[in-house]
């Protein structure tokens, strides 16, 4: 770590979510010469969403590498670099394009450490803008995190705040295992307090964003933000919702969920991916298999994306994924069912 003036130590200022990610990458590159970035349009252009910004001017084209539009090829290059002792950060323009790189991520990066008995590791971070809300249509708006959460050997992270984005990314860069880092496109401009100094947030550790006693609402990424807003609406009606931000879905902090359910006796899981076989199904099953199930006073409710490709039309796009008012309605409905 570079020495900092005393007046900068522990200094906190407001950054956007995108700026926090850029700062994390810059600090990691300053501290460790094996860290580098590669991806499409990340150099002179500064990234499809401007996240890499001026890093090419600070670290040069040998460490901020513009690549061809060839996701499978650049993922293979990143896996190979990681195997030789480098710590690559691969940026894909949209998370949808990870489907093209899946062979290298799923069949190689996720399995190599296991297949070599721990003698080789793949310290790779794959950063991806994900989610709906920008009118980018069906091929550029998906939430595919549950696909990769299914694969042993991968870690899957979804920060919802600028503070978490920086801390989780630095932890992901340090990790000897491949980490898929999903960044919601609607969060890039969100502002929040972020310390100047590097810090890490443990991957797999959820956080209770709001304490409550009446219902537990679990979400990640943009859905954690919407759940908090919904909880404020519910509070105005005398309902105290506890909001849990998972922050990562693999590993998943189920113990925090169980503790909350034992207290509130009701559970809603909100996620942007398609409802069927999604994150909500895993959480529901985990609760059903635990002693927390005995505390439930109502059925677990899943709020997921609709069973359709994401529409381009903004009205239809909004209707295809849970919104703040949907979360409020679900909580009210759950409490009504409980009290019949």
Q: Which residues are catalytic?
A: 71, 140
Q: How far is CA 85 from CA 36, 88, 241, in A?
A: 12, 9, 46
3-state secondary structure 39-87: ECCCCCCCCCCCCCCCHHHHHCCCCEEECCCCHHHHHHHHHHHHHCCCE
Conformation bin of residue 305: beta by default, left when phi > 0, alpha when psi is -120 to 50: beta
**The two three-digit tokens of residue 49, written as one number:** 């969403």
Alpha helix ranges (H) inside the chain: 17-31, 55-59, 71-83, 102, 112-115, 145-149, 162-174, 221-235, 254-264, 279-288, 314-319, 324-339
Q: Would you state the structure tokens that stand for residue 247, as one six-digit string?
A: 């922050």
Token pair listed for 256: 């925090």
Q: How far apart are the first and last CA of the chain?
A: 59
Q: What CA–CA distance (Å, rounded) separates 157 from 202?
A: 11
Residue 88, SS3 per DSSP: strand
Kindly report the length of the chain: 340
Residues in a beta bridge with 182:
128
β-bridge partners, 16: 191
Among 47, 116, 129, CA closest to 82 = 116
CA-atom Rg of the chain in angstroms = 20
């Amino acid at each position: 770590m570079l020495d900092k003036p005393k007046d900068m130590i522990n200094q906190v200022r407001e950054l956007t979510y995108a700026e926090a990610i850029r700062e994390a990458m810059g600090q990691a590159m300053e501290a460790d010469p094996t860290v580098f970035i590669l991806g499409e349009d990340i150099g002179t252009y500064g990234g499809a969403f401007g996240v890499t910004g001026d890093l090419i001017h600070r670290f040069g084209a040998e460490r901020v590498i513009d690549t061809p539009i060839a996701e499978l090829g650049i993922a293979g290059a990143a896996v190979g670099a990681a195997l030789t002792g480098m710590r690559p950060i691969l940026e894909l323009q949209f998370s949808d394009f990870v489907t093209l790189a899946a062979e290298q991520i799923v069949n190689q990066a996720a399995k190599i450490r296991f297949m070599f008995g721990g003698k080789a590791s793949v310290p790779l971070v794959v950063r991806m803008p994900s989610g709906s809300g920008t009118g980018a249509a069906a091929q550029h708006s998906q939430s595919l995190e549950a696909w990769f959460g299914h694969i042993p050997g991968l870690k899957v992270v979804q920060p919802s705040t600028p503070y978490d984005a920086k801390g989780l990314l630095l932890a992901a860069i340090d990790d000897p295992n491949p980490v898929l880092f999903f960044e919601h496109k609607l969060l890039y401009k969100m502002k929040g307090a972020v310390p100047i100094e590097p810090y890490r947030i443990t991957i797999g550790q959820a956080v209770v964003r709001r304490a409550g006693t009446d219902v537990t609402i679990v979400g990640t990424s943009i859905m954690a933000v919407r759940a908090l807003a919904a909880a404020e609406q519910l509070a105005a009606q005398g309902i105290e919702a506890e909001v849990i931000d998972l922050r990562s879905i693999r590993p998943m902090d189920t113990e925090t969920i169980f503790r909350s359910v034992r207290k509130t006796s009701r559970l809603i899981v909100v996620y942007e991916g398609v409802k069927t076989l999604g994150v909500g199904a895993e959480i529901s099953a985990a609760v059903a298999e635990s002693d927390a199930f005995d505390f439930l006073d109502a059925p677990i409710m899943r709020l997921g994306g609709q069973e359709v490709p994401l529409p381009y039309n903004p009205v239809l796009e909004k209707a295809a994924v849970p919104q703040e008012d949907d979360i409020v309605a679900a909580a009210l409905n759950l409490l009504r069912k409980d009290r019949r």
